[in-house]
């Protein structure tokens, strides 16, 4: 049986003096499709850090951050950018900061780049025996989608999902129940750069597991089961609707222990560190878990899930932001 959520133990913070962090740039906004969510998250993080005495200030986007670093104003970065192509989750920002010698929160270059690419993440998970829905990669050409979408759909079987491989927050995602819906679904996903992914639609419970640095390692927080008012947990349900239910912990007993185990294994297999969130489906008929993706800079809005899970183990929002920031300090948390 799994431990109750209240019995999960966390090491005491290693940093007690906020001056250790120096001047902290809370990096938000940017130019990705998730800009507005990032701005909302960033404002919350900024307020929380300031409330704990951290010398934190807002920076909107990577070019502005580079200017601030050149001006000698930045000692550390709390990255709360979301997405890629101007977001800060695809490894580009991490490579820049590593080259400049500026510490930052979240995963390094490898973990960030890999987790942003759903196809490559799946390949890694399958190589180590972790469960993920069946999928087909849809390659592009200058004329559009090069592969035979109908043939891929027959291989996967209906119902299925079509989505961009490198977007988050349910951007560009379609659920397809018959062949007639394929064209529109591909057209929507094709609006976004990069490859596309056709994936088995798992019918069942949608769950997510936050991961947080803890001493010399990482700990999986209690799972959250998401119960949207509508049929799907889409962008509206995630960020706008007030009637989505979040049950934490989302499961009980051995099932809760297992989802935490595979979520932590998935996070580490993808080379991630510091903090993150692993999204999982549980098949309603079989109880089988299927890993969907890792978010390396999860949302910190009023609707966001990592803060909800952290509260279940006695870690409030300000303490959560402190712990995430602390993981960027050498000797704070091992990758």
CA-only gyration radius of the chain, Å: 19
Q: Name the active-site residue from 2, 41, 165, 304.
A: 304
The answer to whether 82 touches 27, Cβ cutoff 8 Å, is: no
Is 295 annotated to bind a ligand? Reply is yes
Cα separation, 124 vs 257, whole angstroms: 22
Please count the residues of the chain. 335
Pairing of strands 23-28, 55-60: parallel
C-alpha neighbours within 13 Å on the C-beta side of residue 206: 19
Cα(185)–Cα(176) distance, rounded to whole angstroms?
7
Q: What are phi and psi of 159, to 5 degrees?
A: -75, 160
The beta-strand segments (E) located in the chain are 23-28, 55-60, 76-79, 135-138, 140-141, 144-145, 160-164, 174-176, 196-200, 204-214, 217-220, 224-227, 245-247, 275-283, 289-295
Active site residue 302: no
Is residue 321 a contact partner of residue 315, using CB atoms and an 8 Å limit? no
The verdict on whether residue 214 carries a ligand-binding annotation is no
User: Which of 32, 169, 273, 327 is an active site residue?
Assistant: 169
Strand partners, 207: 225, 280
Catalytic residue among 2, 32, 34, 206: 34
**293 labeled binding residue:** yes
For 298, the enclosing helix (H) or strand (E) is: none
Strand 160-164 relative to strand 196-200, pairing: antiparallel
Active-site residue flag, 169 = yes
Binding residues for Mg(2+): 279, 293, 295
Catalytic residues: 34, 169, 304
Which segments are annotated as binding site?
Answer: 279, 293, 295
């Amino acid at each position: 049986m799994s431990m109750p959520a209240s019995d999960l133990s966390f090491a005491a913070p290693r940093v007690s003096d906020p001056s250790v962090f120096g001047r902290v740039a809370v990096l938000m906004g940017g130019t990705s499709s998730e800009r507005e969510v990032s701005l909302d998250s960033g404002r919350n993080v900024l307020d929380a850090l300031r409330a704990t005495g951290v010398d934190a200030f807002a920076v909107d986007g990577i070019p502005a951050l580079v200017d601030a670093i050149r001006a000698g104003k930045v000692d550390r970065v709390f990255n709360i950018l979301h997405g890629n192509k101007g977001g800060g989750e695809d490894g580009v920002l991490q490579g820049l900061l590593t080259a400049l010698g500026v510490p930052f929160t979240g995963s390094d270059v490898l973990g960030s780049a890999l987790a942003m690419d759903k196809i490559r993440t799946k390949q890694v998970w399958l190589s180590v025996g972790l469960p993920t829905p069946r999928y087909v990669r849809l390659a592009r050409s200058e004329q559009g989608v090069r592969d035979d979408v109908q043939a891929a759909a027959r291989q996967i079987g209906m119902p299925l999902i079509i989505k961009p491989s490198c977007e988050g927050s349910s951007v560009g995602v379609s659920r397809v129940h018959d062949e007639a819906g394929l064209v529109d679904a591909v057209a929507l996903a094709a609006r976004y750069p990069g490859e596309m992914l056709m994936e088995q639609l798992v019918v069942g419970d949608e769950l997510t597991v936050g991961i947080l640095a803890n001493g010399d390692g990482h700990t999986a927080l209690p799972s959250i089961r998401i119960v949207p008012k509508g049929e799907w947990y889409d962008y509206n349900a995630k960020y706008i609707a007030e009637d989505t239910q979040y049950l934490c912990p989302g499961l009980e007993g051995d099932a809760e222990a297992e989802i935490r185990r595979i979520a932590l294994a998935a996070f580490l297999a993808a080379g991630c560190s510091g903090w993150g969130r692993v999204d999982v489906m549980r098949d309603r008929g079989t109880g089988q878990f299927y890993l969907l993706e890792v978010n390396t800079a999860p949302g910190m809005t009023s609707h966001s899930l990592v803060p909800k899970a952290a509260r279940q183990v006695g870690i409030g929002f300000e303490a959560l932001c402190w712990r995430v920031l602390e993981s960027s300090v050498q000797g704070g948390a091992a990758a």
